[in-house]
Structure 1
Amino acid sequence: MEIVKVSIELFEQLITIRRHLHQHPELSFKEYATCEYITKVLEEWDIPYNRISETGIYVDIIGRNKKGPYIGIRADIDALPIQEQTGLPFSSVNQGVMHACGHDGHTTILLGTVYQLHRLRDKFSGRVRCIFQPGEEADGAAQQLIDLGVLENPSIDAMLALHLWPHLPHGTIGVKYGAITASCDDFTIEILGKSGHSARPHQAIDAITISTQILQALHTLVTKSSNPVEPVVVHIGKINGGTASNIVADKVVLEGTTRAVTFETREKLKSQLIDLCESIAKSFGGKATVHYKDGHPPVINSDWVTRTVEESAIELFGPEKVVHLKEPSMGADDFGAFAQIVPSTYFRLGIALEEKKAFDLHHPQFEFDESIIPIGVQLFTSTVLNKLSRGVEEKC
């Protein structure tokens, strides 16, 4: 196996890049300065690139034999509406916006991978498409790029993505066969009753009473509609209803989310939730309308692509650095849209240090040690050069 290390010079450049990105975060679909900065870096490296959508970028690196396999690698570039509290000297200068999910790290790692693969393009066959994706924290960003043809011309054979992970020791690689993240769909339940005086409730239809019955019944979707060993979430996060203590409420609005790790359960939850709400409201003489918004699909890793990354990580860092994740995260990532179409794997890169408290993703004090950057670059680069360039054809 050829091991491609990150030079000190490149590492120093990547640290500068990461700190600039962290200091200038931008929200989903508003990553204009981020996009311009990425293209500036690529131009300084004399690496051609393509723009896609308003703030998306992809780089095609063509090997010595164009007819080989076509590998995709994706990094997300957007930030979150969070006020940073890390105290870092390169903290966000944009009020209320922060890279609290490690996307600055993901982007930097992919830029380092682009640099390495471009420099070594005569050492592999086929092509690699490195995708800098906007809007991961919003809805449908990955699907938008797919609709614009990011997986085509020619068709991509396999996809890779990573996510920094504060729940694993620094430098470990977390792999998961099958589902690694859940779907995430949002819904709004509008319950209509009939207003009246609280002294004469028999003349009214209480939307609050209907809502409490629906709230209790929703829990049965978790316990009765799916395999008991399969994780499922049905959550109500917002309730709005009623106008005064002595008035029977004629309207209540519930807002929530469902999460599942299989496509079958995801669809079943949707249909059963709608049926349940409508039937309960009707039984009380009211009406419930469910507005369901399909969000991110689950990320389901392909076995053979996952195996190639695992084997590459073992050869690079040793078996002690590879962790088999026991269960999927109920968080979501729109990389699932890619994985629905192309055999893919999405893995975790551990960032937890023994001597320092690790804050979770989306926390205002989230940060990571920059020594993780060359590890990500090395794993992506070596996996492409030594494994996927032949594994796509052999299916390992």
Structure 2
Amino acid sequence: MAKTDLEFKDLTEQFLDEIIEARRHIHQHPELSYKEDDTAEFVISYLEKWDIPYERMIGTGVIVDIKGEKGDGLDIGVRADIDALPVNEQTDLPYESEHEGVMHACGHDAHTAILLGTVYLLNKRKKDMKGSVRCIFQPAEEVGAAKKMIEAGVLEHPHIDRIMALHLWPYVDLGKIGIKYDNITSSADNFSIKVKGEAGHSGRPHQAVDAIAIGAEIIKAFQFLVARWNNPVKPLVINVGQIDGGKAPNIISDEVNLHGTVRAVYKETRDAAEKRINKLVHTLAEEYGGKATIDYQRGYPAINNDEEWTKWVEKNASEVLGKDNVVKIKEPSMGADDFSAYSTNVPSTYFRLGVREDGKKTYDLHHPKFQFDDSVLETGMKVFTATVYNTLSKDE
């Protein structure tokens, strides 16, 4: 049974202020993927102050192993992403980004501070724990570095039995967390299509092969795939977000490039969509007298939340936050996260940390005005700490 009497006497006002200050420093000094040198050093400065050992991984990654003092047990992973986005911040906060064109617009500053505080809290409780917890400060989530972390051995020595992560979420109320069973995100694949035609004069289109027109037919056909081929209860998104082609208004273009993304919640939808898109692109281009090539890049799979592990997180969150502050998310997000690389290797759970406030406009993730109340840090630390502590200290 969980230790329902878990107390947080060390979550003092002074300690919370220290974690808030850390989060604001990270926010003010954001760094892009694989360039998080100062962020990693900042995290390390706290670990050294607290006399907590750490290791570096893939350059700017930092891992902390906290070993329980009651012997062998489960080995748990907790992950936070530390990179920022190429966004010009427009929040006017007193700790607004000092790096022009770079912003923590996805909440990774909060994720980092929450895990930093969790390290401190769990280290204080290690005398009651069996097994270990590996706290993973992961760089470059925005470009998929989880795979590199796994290749570097982040899930081994010891083998991680289960892993968890959180993400700020503007569609759940502040002070609450959102739990989702089964898949909580979609997969995310990208494609680049090059359509080749034959140039000509715009006044004599019958003597040319219009690559732009063929590209337009391909885009229209993608929506047919979504609306008429795909099972409507299994979400699929095909989006063309960039089109490059043409040289002048009176010249029929002989080349156009289409760049887009494909999102699917279920693996069978994802696999089938890739096959259909490849076939459609080639068939349509040839039918209209042109040719096409496609570079289809498989990205993140969907995050699948392990049922047993998710139930355990829900139980512990309900105990430390109150049942009313743990809500069930009904629908998966069509966004993606490279945490899915972990979830395909070990049982995992990924929950949402609410930031929505009544009476205030809440901006979405990746928006230049995205911001949140610092009280989310305490909520996240409590859920992480309670879940890990009650896992590693419970009687089997």
- TM normalised by structure 2 equals 0.95
* 1:142 match: 146
Question: 2:77 touches 2:164 (CA, 8 Å); kept in 1?
Answer: yes
Aligned residues: 391
Question: 1:309-365 CA deviation, whole Å, 9 max, x = no partner?
Answer: 101111112211111001011111111111111100000011122243222111111
- Distance of aligned partners of 1:210 and 1:355 in 2 relative to their CA distance in 1, 3 Å threshold: closer
* 2:333 match: 329
Note the residue ranges of structure 1 that are not aligned, 5 or more in a row: none
- Aligned to 2:350, what secondary structure does the other structure show? strand
- TM normalised by structure 1 equals 0.95
Kindly report the root-mean-square deviation, in angstroms, between the aligned alpha carbons of the 2 structures: 1.5
Question: 1:85 touches 1:364 (CA, 8 Å); kept in 2?
Answer: yes
- Aligned to 1:281, what secondary structure does the other structure show? helix
- Tell me which amino acid in the other structure corresponds to 1:3: L
- Distance of aligned partners of 1:200 and 1:85 in 2 relative to their CA distance in 1, 3 Å threshold: closer
* 1:378 match: 382
- Aligned to 1:67, what secondary structure does the other structure show? coil
Q: How does 1:49-198 map to 2 (within 5 A)?
A: 49-138=54-143, 140-198=144-202
Identify the match of residue 266 of structure 1 among 264, 270, 273.
270
- Distance of aligned partners of 1:226 and 1:66 in 2 relative to their CA distance in 1, 3 Å threshold: farther
Counterparts of 2:356 and 2:203 in 1: how far apart (Å)? 59
- Tell me which amino acid in the other structure corresponds to 1:110: L
Post-superposition offset of 1:388:
6.0
User: Is 2:222 the counterpart of 1:218?
Assistant: yes
- Aligned to 1:313, what secondary structure does the other structure show? helix
User: Is 2:52 the counterpart of 1:47?
Assistant: yes
Counterparts of 1:376 and 1:283 in 2: how far apart (Å)? 55
- Tell me which amino acid in the other structure corresponds to 1:26: E
Counterparts of 2:327 and 2:27 in 1: how far apart (Å)? 28
Counterparts of 1:70 and 1:81 in 2: how far apart (Å)? 35
Post-superposition offset of 1:8:
2.1
Question: 2:70 touches 2:128 (CA, 8 Å); kept in 1?
Answer: no
Question: 1:73 touches 1:159 (CA, 8 Å); kept in 2?
Answer: yes
Post-superposition offset of 1:19:
1.2
Post-superposition offset of 1:66:
4.1
Counterparts of 1:359 and 1:352 in 2: how far apart (Å)? 9
Question: 1:66 touches 1:127 (CA, 8 Å); kept in 2?
Answer: no
* 2:22 match: 17
Give the fraction of aligned pairs with identical amino acids, expressed as a percent: 52
- Distance of aligned partners of 1:66 and 1:224 in 2 relative to their CA distance in 1, 3 Å threshold: farther
Question: 2:235 touches 2:265 (CA, 8 Å); kept in 1?
Answer: yes
- Tell me which amino acid in the other structure corresponds to 2:190: D
Counterparts of 1:255 and 1:146 in 2: how far apart (Å)? 29
- Tell me which amino acid in the other structure corresponds to 2:58: S
Question: 1:64 touches 1:121 (CA, 8 Å); kept in 2?
Answer: yes
Counterparts of 2:36 and 2:254 in 1: how far apart (Å)? 43
- Tell me which amino acid in the other structure corresponds to 1:87: D
Note the residue ranges of structure 2 that are not aligned, 5 or more in a row: none
